Amino acid sequence: MAQKETLARYQEWIKKCSAYRMALSVLTIDKMTLAPQGGAAFRDERMAILSGELFSIRTDPEIFEIIKNLKDDPDADGDTRRSAQLYYKELENERVIPKDEYVAFSLLVDQGYNDWLKAKKESDYSLFEPTLKKLIEESKKIYGYRSSKAPIYDQMLDDYEPGTSIEFYDKFFDKVKERLIPLIQKVVKAKQVDTSFLYQTYPVDKQKAFMDKLLTYLHFDSSWGYQNETEHPFTDWICENDCRVTTKYLPDNVASAMLSTIHEVGHATYEHDIDPKYDGMILSDGVSCAMHESQSRLCENYLGRTKAFWTSLYPQLQEEFPGQLGSVSIDAFVDALNAAVPSLVRTEADELTYPLHILIRYEIEKGLFNGSLSTEGLNKTWNELYKKYLGVDVPNDREGILQDVHWSDASFGYFPTYALGSAYAAQFVHTMRKDIDVDKLLAQGHYDQVMGWLKEHVHQYGCRLTPQEVMTKATGEPFDPDYYLDYLEDKYTRLYHL
């Protein structure tokens, strides 16, 4: 086949794949937000068929040959070579799976969500345990088809964050433990920050009224985005101008929906800012999970918990809740947003204790895949680790092992990227603050200009560069976790007068 025809064939294939990907994304968003529960089994069965169709298209041997040649073709342009390299890595592992097993696994994953939701509602891990067991067994089987001889959990970690491994994360978490556990112990013993006003009654309709103002501040509008509600907040995207986020309102917690929205809109903004010439291509995704999480957590923690961020917004929040916040100063409010208290639920956790929630999940996943842990009685192990690392007693499975959606769709190896992302963010912010006056821009309502820095140095590239290349290009040096640990130490030493 001539070069031109090959390229046309490759591009047509990319577009076709993106059509199926779009359908599956919208079906997933629909399922998680609005779809009537009674239709779940019917829909899941058909989503599995569509996944199977996409699998057949993706694993077409003729396309694999084209990709194999393109990935090192000196005549191909850089974008094409990079995209072929990324597809090659994915397809090398995907095409060895028998299609019927792939479809069965897709179906299992869809059903896993329903089982988890039911178990969580009833706060009963035993209802989810057989599903989790099966998800792990089937994951092992699926990974078993690969040619790699590396331990399965190593491969999983590398899938979510290219270049990482058990060795990498062990070192990272050792550092985290070494510096944060003593710091948390000091914070726990210090004079506590008053947060009680955050947990009064905050009617959901009024929270929604303020949400409109927050979304305006974040420059998230209906021309390119949409916000819905769901049990577990998430972000998904179709293309540059179609990025969806969800949130969850708690009637006795004013900070939860706001902070989770700043977080999710951070993900959405990353996708929205990727060079639109990559739309529909593999290059148009954020480059890795930790890089994505670095952007959402940068927005949530490094911007959304600062006084500058709230300078113009807080008076509007007070207006919505005069009884609850009218007499609370902005300093007291911002201090409360940053208070660190070891707690039960990861998504509600503060910035300081958050990485320990991840450490617990990392240790459990590692144990499940090296055989030192099994799914039976895993809720007990969970509770023991929460006692060990965070000193808290888990009262039930809903707030314990069933709190997160991730294992229900077999996303093993995903959690560690959350902690790594927080650490990436610190390094970006360190450089950004040298380039622009972040606090001044935030206080003046120019959130978009802060995003502009990120767009230029991180977002625009999508997958065109590796995570390591993005980090070095943006900050001038390789990833260094000390920026993160220094930041936390400095911040909490000041906040708690240690």
Binding site for a second copy (CB under 8 A): 15-16, 18-20, 22-23, 26-27, 29-30, 34-39, 42-43, 45-47, 49-50, 53, 222-226, 228, 238-244, 279-280
d(CA 151, CA 144): 10
Q: Whose Cβ is closer to a second copy: residue 40's or residue 392's?
A: 40
Asked if 28 contacts 44 with a C-beta cutoff of 8 angstroms, the reply is no
Closest distance to a second copy from the beta carbon of 211 (Å):
15
Tell me the two tokens of residue 466. 């590796």
d(CA 458, CA 273): 9
Q: Whose Cβ is closer to a second copy: residue 1's or residue 19's?
A: 19
92 classed as catalytic: no
Q: Of 426, 418, 419, give the one whose Cα is nearest residue 483.
A: 426
Closest distance to a second copy from the beta carbon of 19 (Å):
4
d(CA 350, CA 390): 12
Name the DSSP class of 250.
B
Closest distance to a second copy from the beta carbon of 274 (Å):
13
Q: Whose Cβ is closer to a second copy: residue 45's or residue 62's?
A: 45
d(CA 117, CA 106): 17
d(CA 168, CA 253): 37
Amino acid in the structure at residue 270: Y
Q: Estimate to the nearest angstrom the gap between the alpha carbon of 417 and the chain centroid.
A: 8
Q: Whose Cβ is closer to a second copy: residue 14's or residue 443's?
A: 14
Task: Look at residue 238 and give its three-state secondary structure.
Answer: strand
Q: Whose Cβ is closer to a second copy: residue 45's or residue 137's?
A: 45
Q: Whose Cβ is closer to a second copy: residue 46's or residue 433's?
A: 46
d(CA 68, CA 336): 54
Task: Look at residue 102 and give its three-state secondary structure.
Answer: helix
What are the Cα distances from residue 199, in Å, to 64, 195, 252, 325, 337?
A: 55, 7, 5, 11, 11
Beta 235-239 vs 242-247: how paired, if at all? antiparallel
Helices 129-144 and 152-160 sit at what angle, rounded to 10 degrees? 90
Closest distance to a second copy from the beta carbon of 80 (Å):
20
Closest distance to a second copy from the beta carbon of 33 (Å):
9
d(CA 66, CA 315): 58
Closest distance to a second copy from the beta carbon of 277 (Å):
13
Closest distance to a second copy from the beta carbon of 43 (Å):
6
Per the residue annotation, which of 129, 161, 240, 264 is the catalytic one?
264
Q: Whose Cβ is closer to a second copy: residue 3's or residue 241's?
A: 241
Report the catalytic residues.
264
